[in-house]
Amino acid sequence: MQHNIKQRGFAYSIRPITLDDAQFIVDVRLEDEERNKYVHKISPDVNLQINWLNKYFQTPDDYYFVIENNLTGEREGLISIYNIENNVAEWGRWVVKKGSMAALESVDLVYKVAFEKLNLGELYTKTIEDNISVVNFHKSINAKLREIIPNAVELGNNNYNVVNQYVDKEYYYSDVKNLLEEKALKVFQRNLKVALGGFEFHHIGVATKDIEKEFKSYAMLGYSKEDKFDGDLNQGVRGLFITSKNQPRLELLENLENSTTLDYWLNQGVKMYHFGYLVKDIEKAFDVFTTKLRAKVVSPMKESQYFGKRICFLMLNNMFMIELIEE
C-alpha cells in the first residue's frame, strides 16, 4: 500500500518504497544466487517489477520499505510488514546487499514501526528450515520459536519445512530492543569510520579558570604534561595537553585575556565540555556530521595555531560537542 511511514536508527533508516526503486529491487534480489535460493525467484525485467509494485500500492495493510544508509544515503536493502490480522503481522521480503551491515538494525526498525506506529501486538517470520543462517539469526536476537510447519513451502521441485519465529510487543521491550540497539550502535561506529576514512579519538577538552591550578588536581591522578600552546588567537584560549597511562588525553584550556570563549561552560560548572577527534578529510567529516547527522555548527572551520591544521566544533543532537581535527 502507499504509505508515508519512516523510521530512523543509528546507522540505517527505512522509508516507503517507490516506483523509482524497481531497478534496485531487481538488482538486490538477483545479486547473490546462493544467498537468495530460499526466496521466490523474480524476473530481471524491471517492467514486471513495476507492475508488481503498482499492484502492491493497491494492497491494504502491506508496508514495503527500502533500507538506507544514514551516512551515505545509499540503498542497502528491503524489508516489509504484511499479512496483518488480529493485531498480528508477518514481516519478510527481507534482503540486504552483499557486504551490507544493515541486517540487525533494519529488523529493529521494523519492530519499532510495528509496535510504535502500527500499534501491533506481535510480529512473526516464516523461514525455510534449510535456510539455517536466517533461522539462527532470529535465534540470536532472542526471537521465540512457535512451531515448525512441515512441507509448507514449495520452491522449484522441492517442498520445505518452515520455521515460525515471533516477537510480541512486551517481549520486544524486555528482551530484544536493548540487544538490537547496542549492536546497531556498534555498526554505526564502524560505518562512521568507513565513511570518514578514519575517526580517531584524540582528547577531552576541559574548561578551566587557571590551567596550572587545575593541573595539580590531575597530577594527583597520575597525569603529566605533554605539550602546551600559549595562545590561539583564533579560538581565544591557551591550552595544555596532559596524559596518563590507561587514561584519556586531556586538553586543559583557559581564556586569553579579554576572551569569553570558555565563559559559558565555566558559568554552567561544566569542565569536560568537548571530545576531539582526528579525521583525514575534515571537509567530508564536516559534511557527514552536519548534513547526515544533523549536527549544528558551534565554531566554523578555522586553522588551529597548535595543530597547524583546520579544526571546527559541532554540537550533536544530544547536546554533546565534538571537535574535528584535520590530520
| Tens of pLDDT, residues 268-309 | 999 999 999 999 999 999 999 999 999 999 999 999 989 999
pLDDT at residue 32, rounded to an integer: 80
Distance CA 181, CA 168 (A): 17
pLDDT at residue 222, rounded to an integer: 96
Distance CA 192, CA 102 (A): 14
For the stretch 224-244, what's the b/e string if a residue is b when 16 or more beta carbons lie within 10 angstroms of its beta carbon?
Answer: eeeeebeebeebbbbbbbbbe
Phi, psi of 269 (to 5 degrees): 75, 25
The whole-model pTM stands at: 0.84
**Banded model confidence at residue 8, pLDDT cuts 50, 70, 90:** very high
Terminal-to-terminal C-alpha distance of the chain: 49
pLDDT at residue 169, rounded to an integer: 98
Distance CA 82, CA 11 (A): 24
Q: Which three cell numbers stand for residue 85?
A: 490480522
Phi, psi of 320 (to 5 degrees): -95, 130
Distance CA 10, CA 181 (A): 8
Would the pLDDT of 143 be above 80? yes
| Tens of pLDDT, residues 162-213 | 999 999 999 999 999 999 999 999 999 999 988 898 899 999 999 999 999 9
| Tens of pLDDT, residues 35-44 | 677 888 889 9
Distance CA 155, CA 38 (A): 8
Partners of 80 in beta bridges: 64, 92
State the CB neighbour count (10 A cutoff) for residue 117. Answer: 13
- Write down the mean pLDDT value for the chain: 95
Residue with cell 510488514: 81
Q: Looking at residues 3-14, what average pLDDT do you find? A: 97
Taking a C-beta distance cutoff of 8 angstroms, is the pair 195, 71 a contact?
yes
Would the pLDDT of 324 be above 80? yes
Q: Looking at residues 309-323, what average pLDDT do you find? A: 94
Taking a C-beta distance cutoff of 8 angstroms, is the pair 105, 180 a contact?
yes
pLDDT at residue 68, rounded to an integer: 98
pLDDT at residue 125, rounded to an integer: 97
Q: Looking at residues 88-93, what average pLDDT do you find? A: 97
pLDDT at residue 307, rounded to an integer: 92
pLDDT at residue 33, rounded to an integer: 74
pLDDT at residue 40, rounded to an integer: 80
**Banded model confidence at residue 49, pLDDT cuts 50, 70, 90:** very high
For the stretch 262-293, what's the b/e string if a residue is b when 16 or more beta carbons lie within 10 angstroms of its beta carbon?
Answer: beebbeeeebebbebbbbeebeebbebbeeee
Q: What is the DSSP string of 211-251?
A: HHHHHHHHHTTT-EEEEEEEEETTTTEEEEEEEETTEEEEE
pLDDT at residue 154, rounded to an integer: 87
State the CB neighbour count (10 A cutoff) for residue 81. Answer: 23
Q: Which three cell numbers stand for residue 202?
A: 584524540
Residue with cell 515471533: 166
Q: Looking at residues 73-99, what average pLDDT do you find? A: 96
pLDDT at residue 38, rounded to an integer: 81
| Nearest residue to 170 (alpha-carbon basis) of 137, 109, 136, 123 | 123
Bigger pLDDT: 32 vs 277: 277
Q: Which three cell numbers stand for residue 216?
A: 595539580
pLDDT at residue 119, rounded to an integer: 98
